[in-house]
Structure 1
Amino acid sequence: MTALQSGAVAPPTPDPAPAGRAGRTGRSVRRLMTAPLLLSLLAALVFAVALPGLADAVPTQNGLLFSSAPGLPAGAVFVGAVLLAVLAFCLAVRRRNPLEASVALLVYIACFRLPVALAAPEPIYGWTYKHLGVVDYIERHGTLLQGIDIYSGWPGVFAAIAWFGTVTGVPVVVIAQWFSLGIHLALAVAVFALCRAFGLAPLTALVGAFVAETANWIGQDYLSPQALTYLLAVILLTLLLRSRERPVFGWLSVPLFAAITVSHQLTPYWLIGITLALGLTRQVRPRYLGLVFALIAGGYLAANYDAVASFGLLSGFDPVANAHSGFAGSGSLGQTLTALAARASAIALWGGAALAAVLAIVRAKRMRAPTWIALVLAFSSFALLAGQNYGGEAIYRVFLYSIPGCALLVAPLVERALSAGRPAGPFGPANPANPANAGDPAVRRRPRHGAVAATLVALLLSAASLQAYYGAWFSNLIRSDSLAVAESLLRTGKAPALILSIAPVGPSRMLAEYADFAAIDGQYDASMTSWSGWLGQGFETTDATDRLTTDLADSDRPIYVFVTSQMADYSDYYGLYPAGAVDRFTAQLAANPGWTTLVDTPTVHLFTLKDRR
């Protein structure tokens, strides 16, 4: 008691643990308050602001980036979000921080690809729905659709999606809606793994994934055999590179190649060429693996020759002609802008890859094995042009297939420019981030001009890729009301019937019932643009519409004409018809006594020809 009164006892010492925890919390918060992470967060917030406007954007021929919604320049805000993510990634690489770069890359992919899932009311692209019908048929009948279209000969992806939908209960239309984002996330991981198998450091491999994502404006990412087999092909290439040290990876690629072979007509032959070229130079094991692939693909092609013969195995040994696209129409200023953006992206990627290869050869004074491997992966796809135009899409497949190999070549240059250090992997000495190099003045000095230039190039090419990807947005945008009308027509219509469209776009064959119509007439849903003399009609007079009515009057089956606002946007974008022609055609059919209007809304029109017999 005396001691207490005299104050001899010292006050209790506070527990140091809370202060320690507070200190650790403060340090954790400071670690999260880095410029790349803050920029990534800002990019996500700006994208969230833009998203409602993207869903309500007013159509424009220049595409989604130039669109606006009431009170918001949605397209410009969207571009700003993507470019903020690019800045975050470049700064993270500059700081040599793989974690920050990974976060920025994830945000970049999300901002770039999410509008396809969240701003589109239905799965985008009319040709997506032809695949949905095949999947729906397999789900409902548990068997393949034989003799109707080419899909029955290569059913691997359709069967896999049907199985997934049956097991999970997820409708195929929902799978299609989110497919693009999922496939791009998976491709980024696959390209990263390919870069690591090639020998690139983790940070450089992330740059490779970024390059591949930025370059990929092709639009192959909808629910399709091409999209999934492309992903499997990148994984297969990774196994091939790993087989140099462990041949078992080469054998593991065989079942993967078989899965690709039963799913897509073109991808296996690109892989055969790569495997043969690398086998001859002892860069894959076993060396004869390409012959194994050739036997698998050749045998499967022989078994399904009847399904593909009508399309032609070869279109002529004319690479120049085969490089031409199948585009028909005079085009618009918006389409020209989009085409220029796409070409700029392709030239930059191919030019950068060629420059990187030349620099690697000059430094080594010879062709080293890694450079040869990357060159084969980057430019072997050009050989496809020697014998096939692939329906006017061969040049797009050449570019698509070249992306992973070009990323291997370009990534070290980009990483070196951003970090101003020496490239990691086969193109240079050890990673400059290695603590062993900390005393190297060349590593400590980090000149900014190279990083600024590389960042500007990344921003410009990202913007070009955005325009190339979203320039045709409104001409490919499927609206819910047009999808509902098309589905109802398939469900309630009776085969045989002819369902004509003013333009080759819009939902079609999305249900298993399409088989009833296609079994009688494989062109039952033809576009009028395929008719001689029809493309470019102005419909200033009723002559063309009257001839159409007369020519179809004696048909022994129901005739429908389907017109949507998307078809008008598609026509204006690609210049299929003069401005206003689609509206004039619609008005003429509505006024023609030979036709009955079944659906008449601001965005969808459906007509049927009256039976005159």
Structure 2
Amino acid sequence: MTGLGLLSVLPFSTLAGLALLGVGFVGSLSLRRPHAWLLGIQLVILVLFLHGITVLVESEPRFPITWFHAGFVDFISRTGTVATELDARWCWPGFFALAAFWLGSGRLSTLSPVLSLAPVLSNLLYLGALALIMSAIKMSLQARWLAAVLFCLLNWIGQDYFSPQGFTYLLYLVFIGIVVKWFSSLERTVNRHCKPARVWHWVWQGSSSGELPSAPARPAERVVLLAILVGLFCAATVSHQLTPFVMVMSVVGLIVARRCTLTGLPTILIVILLAWISYMTEPYWAGHLKDMVGSVGDVSGTVSSSVVARASRGSDEHQLVGQARMLTAGLLVAMAAWGLLRRRRHGIEDRVLLVLVAVPVGLVFMQSYGGEIAFRVYLFMLGPACILAALSFFPDPESRPTALARGGVGLCVLALSFSFFVTRYGNEQFEQISDGAVAAVETVYSLTPNGGRFLFVSPHIPGDTPFIPVGYRDVERVDWDRLDAPIEPADVTGLVDVMREGGPGTYLITTRSQENYLTFGSGYPPDWGTQFRRAMAAAPGVRVVVDNPDASVYTFDWRPGQTPKPFIPPTTGVQIRRTPWTPVGVAFLVMALSLLGLREVWRVCPTRNDPRWLRLLTLAASPVLAGFVLVIAERFVVLTT
């Protein structure tokens, strides 16, 4: 495998089969009467082909971070609680607790099939949620099926694995689908005193709404749907740091664009989000305040760390992968913009889709998110952007697509099908996990039943993740630390000294994936891994514990009688530090959610929508909200000084 990843090793017959699948889909789409069952089968096969091919060609689940998450599930399954001292992600444990509940065990033998199949299952569920969103848009059947295929071909972001982001992204799509399906508004009034509103009215005057009217629902059904929306948001809030913010921003954007009737919902969501951050994630923000707010507003720095730095590191082939990703992202935005213009020419205004594409861009003003914020912006805008891209080919919801449009679809699908293996699997050299690496790590686990320490080498990149399958069990007993990889592979003296100072139970591990990351992803010499292993094996006082083509493990040859450092179990359980006003804040929280929830229930029931009661509930909730905000501020000041 070269720096182009999986594409460099797939046989010609596999790529030819992919081309035939694309041609077959365009042919099915061109039938005079579309057959949903035929298109559905082809779509499922495409998902299995694109997102499940690694299940056939690789024996272990992809992504080292997947193995970390397995360790979190294992810990909760064994202990029934969390340990916020070990990792910041323990402050958002909802996904891991749910996985432990569903699977009943955190053992690798139980988790392994789920870890391997997660991308396929996730993408199939994403398509169902995307169909819910499209059911509220005026578009032809051909456009709907094409949008689904484009979503499969352009979802190279790699967040659909066994992760909180993959889980909460599904919640986000369902959340948006419910809002635009049952709580949409087709109001077209414009505030003529607002200059942007006047410009909007001038651009879209004479056009009809691109959304369908809200689906009919009885008052009780609307209350249930409102409760589901709040439940989805709560599940996302306790599982992921970023997704709840996008949910709030999307609802606010739709309300401002006069496409959502739930005008009081953002207040409820913000109260829930502030409460979770203030009370449940305090172990993280109290000690990492600089990391959280240091890059707020630094758009140029955020874009540089997320896009420029990633696209300019490593070998020429690795840079080509980054450039291909940028190119496909730019192509998606261009097709979405062209879709908006073509719909405008047909007299249709797609206000909802435009809001949902534009809102995630606001994330770049928040923080760099470890240099990954550009990926998350692309992820959250992907669904609505694919719908607009499909509308660029089939803008008219009524007329039959032209032969030229169908030909353009065929070329686009074929080009994106082959580019997918570069954008999605271009980094497979170091993202794959091998049997030998798993066996090496398991050997170290067997040698350190009372706790140990892994050392690994990587470039000097803050927060760099080891491409090693560590942490899948005993996360509280085994630690891992990063060391700077020497440019000269024979210069291992400093690494040996660190290993010696660590004492018994300290092991340095290197894997083929980690070495490929240095070579292809960071510009180290091509034979760096071979020379490094040779130098480590020959270093004085170093003993080779494991040596196979996939991984090698080294430790220091300790004198007899030396024992490892005693294992100190971490503090477990939910840790909520109290301030003088913390209990009062909890009372304010309960009252605020009760009053705001009752107010919104009253609003969504047309038969009870009495303005007097709404004003009364608003007046009752205002002082309670003010008190809640003051307690949040008090906790922040007290716990950070």
Match of 1:238 in 2: 177
> Hey, what's the Cα distance between the residues in 2 that align with 1:251 and 1:199?
27
* Amino acid aligned to 2:47: I
Matched, 1:110 2:36: no
Matched, 1:62 2:4: yes
Contact 2:321 2:423 in 1 (8 A): yes
> Measured at CA, do residues 589 and 328 of structure 1 come closer, stay the same or move farther in structure 2, by a change above 3 Å?
farther
Mean CA deviation greater in 74-83 or 343-352: 74-83
Measured on the aligned residues, the alpha-carbon RMSD in Å equals 2.4
Which consecutive residues of structure 2, in runs of 5 or more, have no partner in the other structure? 185-213, 459-464, 563-641
Q: What does 1:135-534 correspond to in 2, within 5 Å?
A: 135-166=73-104, 171-242=110-181, 243-244=183-184, 245=214, 246=217, 247-248=222-223, 249-303=225-279, 304-311=281-288, 312-314=291-293, 315-323=295-303, 324-325=305-306, 327=310, 330-364=313-347, 368=349, 371-414=350-393, 416=394, 423-424=396-397, 431-432=398-399, 443=400, 447-493=402-448, 497-503=452-458, 504-517=465-478, 524-528=479-483, 531=484, 534=485
Out of 91, 105, 130, the position equivalent to 2:27 is 91
Deviation string for 1:22-58 (max 9, x for gaps)? xxxxxxxxxxxxxxxxxxxxxxxxxxxxxxxxxxxxx
> Measured at CA, do residues 308 and 208 of structure 1 come closer, stay the same or move farther in structure 2, by a change above 3 Å?
farther
SS of alignment partner, residue 349 of structure 1: helix
Match of 1:604 in 2: 551
* Amino acid aligned to 1:458: V
How big is the shift at 1:505?
Answer: 3.1
> Measured at CA, do residues 75 and 574 of structure 1 come closer, stay the same or move farther in structure 2, by a change above 3 Å?
farther
| Greater C-alpha radius of gyration | 1
Contact 1:279 1:288 in 2 (8 A): no
Bigger relative CO (Cα 8 Å, ≥ 6 apart)? 2
Deviation string for 1:292-341 (max 9, x for gaps)? 11111121111113224544323231112112326498411221221222
> Measured at CA, do residues 81 and 179 of structure 1 come closer, stay the same or move farther in structure 2, by a change above 3 Å?
same
How big is the shift at 1:289?
Answer: 1.2
* Amino acid aligned to 1:266: L
Contact 1:356 1:413 in 2 (8 A): yes
> Hey, what's the Cα distance between the residues in 2 that align with 1:256 and 1:547?
50
How big is the shift at 1:472?
Answer: 1.1
> Hey, what's the Cα distance between the residues in 1 that align with 2:312 and 2:507?
24
SS of alignment partner, residue 350 of structure 1: helix
Q: How many residues align?
A: 507
How big is the shift at 1:502?
Answer: 2.7
SS of alignment partner, residue 37 of structure 2: helix
Q: What does 1:574-593 correspond to in 2, within 5 Å?
A: 574-593=521-540
> Hey, what's the Cα distance between the residues in 1 that align with 2:235 and 2:256?
24
How big is the shift at 1:447?
Answer: 4.6
> Measured at CA, do residues 361 and 298 of structure 1 come closer, stay the same or move farther in structure 2, by a change above 3 Å?
farther
Contact 2:436 2:549 in 1 (8 A): no
SS of alignment partner, residue 502 of structure 1: strand
Matched, 1:565 2:512: yes
Deviation string for 1:137-171 (max 9, x for gaps)? 11222222332111221111111111111189970
Which consecutive residues of structure 1, in runs of 5 or more, have no partner in the other structure? 1-58, 68-73, 417-421, 425-430, 433-442, 518-523
SS of alignment partner, residue 599 of structure 1: strand
> Hey, what's the Cα distance between the residues in 2 that align with 1:600 and 1:509?
17
> Hey, what's the Cα distance between the residues in 2 that align with 1:547 and 1:469?
36
> Measured at CA, do residues 570 and 583 of structure 1 come closer, stay the same or move farther in structure 2, by a change above 3 Å?
same
How big is the shift at 1:465?
Answer: 2.1
Contact 2:6 2:421 in 1 (8 A): no
TM-score (norm: length of structure 1): 0.78
* Amino acid aligned to 1:335: H
How big is the shift at 1:345?
Answer: 1.2
How big is the shift at 1:238?
Answer: 0.3
SS of alignment partner, residue 391 of structure 1: coil
Contact 1:196 1:202 in 2 (8 A): no
How big is the shift at 1:362?
Answer: 4.8
How big is the shift at 1:495?
Answer: 5.5
> Measured at CA, do residues 377 and 586 of structure 1 come closer, stay the same or move farther in structure 2, by a change above 3 Å?
same
How big is the shift at 1:201?
Answer: 4.2
> Measured at CA, do residues 265 and 125 of structure 1 come closer, stay the same or move farther in structure 2, by a change above 3 Å?
same
Contact 1:150 1:308 in 2 (8 A): no
> Hey, what's the Cα distance between the residues in 2 that align with 1:496 and 1:251?
45
Contact 2:297 2:366 in 1 (8 A): yes
> Hey, what's the Cα distance between the residues in 1 that align with 2:166 and 2:11?
26
> Measured at CA, do residues 176 and 396 of structure 1 come closer, stay the same or move farther in structure 2, by a change above 3 Å?
same
> Hey, what's the Cα distance between the residues in 1 that align with 2:472 and 2:49?
31
SS of alignment partner, residue 135 of structure 2: helix
SS of alignment partner, residue 146 of structure 1: coil
Contact 1:500 1:561 in 2 (8 A): yes
Contact 1:131 1:158 in 2 (8 A): yes
* Amino acid aligned to 2:359: S
> Hey, what's the Cα distance between the residues in 1 that align with 2:23 and 2:312?
38
> Measured at CA, do residues 122 and 346 of structure 1 come closer, stay the same or move farther in structure 2, by a change above 3 Å?
same
Matched, 1:538 2:488: yes
> Measured at CA, do residues 589 and 598 of structure 1 come closer, stay the same or move farther in structure 2, by a change above 3 Å?
same
Contact 2:29 2:39 in 1 (8 A): yes
Matched, 1:126 2:99: no
Deviation string for 1:110-162 (max 9, x for gaps)? 11112122211100011111100000111222222332111221111111111
SS of alignment partner, residue 486 of structure 1: helix
Deviation string for 1:362-404 (max 9, x for gaps)? 543xx84xx1210111121110001211000000000011111
Contact 2:432 2:513 in 1 (8 A): yes
SS of alignment partner, residue 471 of structure 2: coil
Contact 2:542 2:557 in 1 (8 A): yes
> Hey, what's the Cα distance between the residues in 1 that align with 2:85 and 2:502?
25
Contact 1:482 1:604 in 2 (8 A): yes
Contact 2:63 2:431 in 1 (8 A): yes
